[in-house]
Every structure is written in C-alpha cells, then in structure tokens.
Structure 1
C-alpha cells in the first residue's frame, strides 16, 4: 500500500470534487466512494511514476504516455477491464471538475481510449432454483427473525428486481404497504416498481418479528446487532444457500435481479417495460437479457427437436 501525502492544492480539489459529486451530481455514497478510490489509486501510481506526490500543476502536465503507463500497470496487476473502464471514467470526471473550477485543463486524459469490454451476459437462476433460494433463505439461521429477514430481502430482490444496494438503502418508513414502491436508483433517479402481495407479506412478517422494531428513518433491513444490513452479509448468506443447493458461484443476490428480468422476458414481458422496472438508463443494457432468453430457447430446441437430437 502506497502512503500518499498529497499537496494541499490536490487535497482541496478532492474535497471540493467530493462535495460537488454529492450536492450537485447527487451521486450516491457508494458511487462517490468508488470515484474517490479510483482517484487515490491513480494518484498513488503517479507518485511512484513521477518520484514524488503530484500537485495540481503536475497533474495538468501529464501526457498520454503517462496515462498509458497507468493503464499498463493496471493490466499487469490483473485488474478487470471493466474496473479499468470505471477508473478511467472517474479520472475524466475529476479532470473535468478541475477545468470547471478554473484549476486548469489536461486534454491528454480524453485522448485515452476506453478498454474494449467483452459483452457480458447476465447469469440468472432458473425459476426452480430461484424459488429454492427463497424456500431455503433462512436454513442457516438459528434466530427466526434473521431467517425471516433473509427471506424478505431475497423475495424483494426477485419480486421487484432491485439492486442489492437499493434494497438495503430502504428505511422503515419506505416499507411497501401498497401495490407499488418508489425506488431511488443510480444517479438518484427514481422509478416506480410494482410490489407483489408475497413480497409485502414477507417484509411484514420480518418486521413483526424483528426485535429492534425498525420505525421511521431506521433502516428497514437490519443486521444481528441492529445496524443497517450491509451487502457483504447478504452475499455471505447467499453463499450458504448456494452451497446447500449446490448452485454455481454466479448465484448471488444480484442474480435474483437478473432472474427477475429474464423470467419476465421469458413470460412475454417487453423490453421497454423491463428497462423501466430495472431502472436502466439505456435500452442496450436491458437487451443483454435477450441473449439469455435466446440461449434458453436454443437449449430447449436442441434437447427436444427430433432432428436436433440425431
């Protein structure tokens, strides 16, 4: 780990950028922290690359070769192209902020091409496996209320297609009581999602048995000690369930969201509606689910058509 002792002008710029991301861009805490982590990792590399901690003038003097050296270092460290693409986006955002606030420009950062990303295909669970996850959501819990919490959370993910962060950000006063729920997603964009009766029932059952009785602005989903449940705990619970059911490593909390979209599509749902339900900014993101449905269709064809089996 590189110890960073940044000059005051860089520290001031980072503090102002952070404030701008939260107040003006209304970025979530998760997004802001990721941006900052990307920037600090870059500054750590530049400190080694230049031989000293960079000030603003140094950052503005960096040329394409410097940025390509950073990209090469990330590649040598085995970091995923998707991670590097996000880091480059974070870096460009910071440099645009420097320009916007009159600190200076660096055109070189915009001349660097994004790494070419492979087209990833979502990996949903089958309808049977998704239901098995719900049936066994509390299998490893000794405390009944924690078992009901797990069931409520995973039912919400599968029944409404939420991101795990969206579900865990809910407060008690946002608990669904009707047929729909307002969700604040990426970029603080809001969307309306339908809520099935089975989802409401699972959440109500959990809330009634939770010893901490979350109310008002208290977190809806709580950990064993009464604090807001974190994603790592939800992921750990899913690992236990997939081990019990012998499911692949791709069976994660986020896979429940993938399953929601894929099963809607397979049931005749149209892409535009699914896009709205998932909160995707671009239809092309939602279109990835058509590849999953096509794979399923071809598997059925290959396994059942008389000519395909010859």
Structure 2
C-alpha cells in the first residue's frame, strides 16, 4: 500500500525510482480508507536524506500511511533550505490537536551535550508529554532513543571512550517478540554514536525489556512493556554509504576518527561498502507498523479518551 505525501515533496521521485508506491495528497483524498497517521520528528541535519531513508521503509509495508513531518522551532538547521522546512514541515502548534497512530523520533548530532543543553530539549519534553495521550506507539532512533530513555525512564546516556562506528552482529534476547518476528537469531546493524546506555541500568528498570544486544555495540533494541515505546540505539535505516559519508566528512574536517568497523570490504575505505542489514531494517519497520501501531490503534480516535 502507498505512503501519502505532499504533492511536491522532492524525495517522491527518488522513491518512485525504487518502485516504492507513493500517492500524493490529492489522490489520497479520493480514497475511502482510514490510513495510518505517522508523525516523523526529523532531527537529523541532512533532512532530505533522512526523509528518503524513512519513507522508503514506511512505503514497503501493506499498510496505507499518511506522513507528517515535524520540525523544531528553537533551532534553524544549516543543511536544508528554510523554504523546504516551511513547505513540508509542521510545527507543534499546528499538530497539537491531532492524534497520530505512530511517531518516529530520529537521531540528532547533539549526543555529546547533556540533554538540558540542547536548544530544542524543552520542545522534546513537551512532545513526549503530549504523545502520552496523542500517539499509540513511538519508535525512536539513536539520540531519539536516548532522549526517551532519559525523560521517560530516568536512564541517562554515558560517554564512550571512542566513537562507536561500524556494522556489528546482534543477538536476540526475546526472539518471540512481535518486534523482531522474522529476524535471524544473529543479525547485523549499523551504529554511529559517541555515547551509550548502560545495559545494567535497563535491567533495573521494570518497565523495559531488552530485545537485542551486541557484544561490541551494547544494547540495541529496547521496548517498554506497554509497547508504547520502541527504542533503537543504532541506525538500521541507514543507506549502504551513510557510514562512509560520515567517515569522509570527519576526515575532511580533521576530526580524529577510526575507520568504521566491519563495514568496508577488507576494512579498506577505498572499497565500496555493502548493505548487509537491509532485510532486517524492513522487518523492523513492518513489524512496528503492524503489531505496535495498526493492531493497537483505534479505528476512530474520537471514540477514545
């Protein structure tokens, strides 16, 4: 089924080239169907790349989905035009009276700052309070996952001695969880972060369940036992070349960094990296939309309190 997007969103043409079923808003209005409403809080600096990555995944499920992008008002991104934000992104005041079946909170390049130092942290706090009564399930990624763990469950992030960057094997701890239905017992996923969350702290939180971990990268998939929060500390949504782009960017800036682990063939940055995590990425997003959003959300929000 299609994702329904604003008619002139630039990424639509890229999605069509990948045979992702896209329906613009004009045609969607003629459909007699109750699509899922998903809010994407895009905090990544290169917003159009993140749009492409996430919409590709939402558009590859059998569920029809309306997508709304949300931006922060307290920070002006440098890598996207103001016209793009104004045309395709809403602000909180414009959506606060709406209800959403699902919400995605992306990562953000602010993890080495304390949460309270982030310009838009008050907006994130407001958003998470609002989501308790306006969103069925939230999928948060990397810094977004850390923000949820901190605000909702009192678990702060911890600095790593060096950046965790690479593609790592993970083991399922709860293989019967609907979130990882269809996953291999061991699977690969990319990570790119300077901080982590302590596994011991998560184990002490009775409201949380660890779904998957990595010996090298630590805790990866966590869910709240009420299934309202799904947290991924890595970046399954990344394209094959995203870690390469980040590495080359840091090298060009003179930032000390190591070659991403287990990523380039023969660990040689001159070799073209392969996407070895794609199948599990699609499974994760499909499972979340199906089991945690579609099967949990009311058909008519007005019928719920």
The bucket for the TM-score relative to the shorter chain is under 0.3
Q: Which has the higher strand share?
A: 2
TM-score (norm 1): 0.26
Structure with max Cα Rg: 1
TM-score (norm 2): 0.26
